[in-house]
Each structure stands twice: as structure tokens, then as C-alpha cells.
């Protein structure tokens, strides 16, 4: 019998690409200087072109070079800080909100999320989802070595909620890292493949393969009933 559902956040409860857009806009506004640089919208478009072209590692460097804006290492660090610490302009999709409302009446809900702490906390605040979860684990608080695929965050949740691993379901998006630990712990694992998700790599090994795959979060309650 399922008693507990643990959710990932990015690209599971909302489209992470919306956070990326929000962050790039914040950085573009930070850089904009009417006397010396292109408009914030022009800078944002340059960032977005790099991101959508697949450049995920050096968006700022490449875009600013193309725009003729000088930047050194310290300036890149400042831009990264702005990106990670900005107040994100994101909202919880209606289908996600409806599912969380429904499931919170029947199951214990928890959230486990990787990522830099201020950014992840600000996302939770912007999405207004804290009220749905009995336990939230930011793996950054445990130590970066405990980001997924480490089992430590999951173990903390089942201890805090006092539940057995065989009664837990984990719902996430990234098959490259999300399901390795839950599978080893004996959870049921469900991959949610949102159409606009960022991470599409397959599982690195058979033990990282999810038990079930759904393409819409609204399908989750029915699947949980079957489990």
C-alpha cells in the first residue's frame, strides 16, 4: 500500500525552462547600461539563443562576446550570483496544483530537490508549494556530495516521516540520476516526461530505469491507485 509520495521539483512540478528564462532576464537587466550596452531584451535574446542552441555551460561568456560586451572571470561570477539569487518569475501549473491538492488529502507528500540552496528555496517560495509537503529536503544543505544519485536525502525523508521504503513512490524527470537511489531503496519510481523538459538522457544503467513512465502529471493519481 502506498503511503508516501516524494516529488522532485524542477521539470516535475513545473517547466524548468521558465526558471531559466526568468534568470536570464534578471541577468540581462543587471548588465543593461543604456549608454554602453544593448537593451536588456537584446541581451536576453542573446542568452536565450545560446541556451536553445544547446550551450548550457557558457551561455554568458559566448553571448556577451557576440554582443561585444567585455567580461572577465569576476564579472561572470557576478552574473551567476544574480541568476541564482534572483526572485524567479515562475508559477505552479494548474494541473500540478490540482494533483498536489488531491494527493495531499490521501498521502504523505515530500519534496527532494538538488541545486544551489538560495535558488531552490526561492523556487519553492515562488511556486507557493511549501504547504503541500510534510518534509522538504534541499540536498545542498546535506552537502553537495549528497546530491542525487546519493540515497542520503531519500533516507532522511523516510526517517523523518517514519515510513517504510516499500510504501514510497518517487516522481521525477531525469533518468540520468533521479531513479538510481530510489530503486535501490525499494521505492516505486515514476518518470514524468514533460514535453519541454531539459534533461532527456536515458538511464545510465538498468538499475536507474524508472518502474513507470507518464507524460502528464494528471495521470499520477490513477497510477498511484493501481500501485
DSSP per-residue string spanning 174-216: -TTTSSHHHHHHT-EEEEE--TT-S--PPPSSGGG--SEEES-
Whether the CA torsion 154, 207, 2, 8 is positive or negative: it is positive
Average pLDDT of adjacent 10-residue blocks, the chain of 227 residues: 97 97 96 81 95 90 91 92 97 98 97 96 98 97 95 97 97 95 96 89 83 96 94
- Rounded to 5 degrees, φ, ψ at 108 are -80, 130
Whose cell is 518518470? That residue is 191
Q: What is the CA radius of gyration of the chain?
A: 19
Predicted local confidence at residue 35, as pLDDT: 64
User: What is the C-alpha to C-alpha distance for residues 80 and 26, in angstroms, rounded to an integer?
Assistant: 10
CA 51 to chain CA centroid, Å, is 17
The class that CATH gives domain 4-15+90-226 is alpha beta
Predicted local confidence at residue 183, as pLDDT: 96
Predicted local confidence at residue 5, as pLDDT: 98
Predicted local confidence at residue 33, as pLDDT: 79
Predicted local confidence at residue 153, as pLDDT: 97
Cβ proximity of 4 and 168 under 8 Å: yes
How many C-beta atoms surround the C-beta of residue 222 within 10 A? 9
Q: List where CATH 3.40.50.1000 sits in the chain.
A: 4-15+90-226
Q: Does CATH number 1.10.3470 belong to domain 17-85?
A: no
User: What is the C-alpha to C-alpha distance for residues 134 and 147, in angstroms, rounded to an integer?
Assistant: 20
User: What is the C-alpha to C-alpha distance for residues 159 and 137, in angstroms, rounded to an integer?
Assistant: 12
pTM confidence score? 0.93
Q: List where CATH 1.10.150 sits in the chain.
A: 17-85
Cell of 129: 508549494
Amino acid at each position: 500500500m502506498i503511503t508516501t509520495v516524494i516529488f522532485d521539483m524542477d521539470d516535475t512540478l513545473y517547466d524548468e525552462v521558465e526558471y531559466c528564462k526568468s534568470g536570464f532576464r534578471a541577468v540581462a537587466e543587471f548588465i543593461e547600461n543604456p549608454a554602453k550596452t544593448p537593451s536588456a531584451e537584446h541581451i536576453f535574446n542573446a542568452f536565450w539563443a545560446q541556451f536553445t542552441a544547446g550551450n548550457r555551460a557558457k551561455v554568458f561568456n559566448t553571448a556577451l562576446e557576440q554582443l561585444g560586451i567585455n567580461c572577465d572571470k569576476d564579472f561572470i561570477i557576478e552574473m551567476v550570483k544574480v541568476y541564482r539569487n534572483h526572485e524567479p518569475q515562475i508559477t505552479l501549473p494548474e494541473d500540478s496544483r490540482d494533483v498536489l491538492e488531491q494527493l495531499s488529502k490521501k498521502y504523505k507528500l515530500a519534496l527532494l530537490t538538488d541545486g544551489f540552496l538560495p535558488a531552490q528555496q526561492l523556487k519553492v517560495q515562488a511556486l507557493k508549494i511549501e504547504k503541500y509537503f510534510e518534509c522538504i529536503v534541499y540536498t545542498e544543505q546535506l552537502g553537495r556530495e549528497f546530491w542525487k544519485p546519493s540515497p542520503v536525502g531519500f533516507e532522511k525523508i523516510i526517517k523523518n516521516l517514519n515510513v517504510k521504503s516499500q510504501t514510497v513512490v518517487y516522481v521525477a524527470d531525469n533518468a540520468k540520476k533521479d531513479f538510481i537511489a530510489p530503486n535501490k531503496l525499494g521505492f516505486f519510481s515514476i518518470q514524468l516526461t514533460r514535453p519541454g523538459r531539459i534533461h532527456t538522457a536515458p538511464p545510465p544503467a538498468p538499475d536507474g530505469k524508472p518502474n513507470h513512465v507518464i507524460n502528464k502529471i494528471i495521470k499520477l493519481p490513477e497510477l498511484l491507485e493501481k500501485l
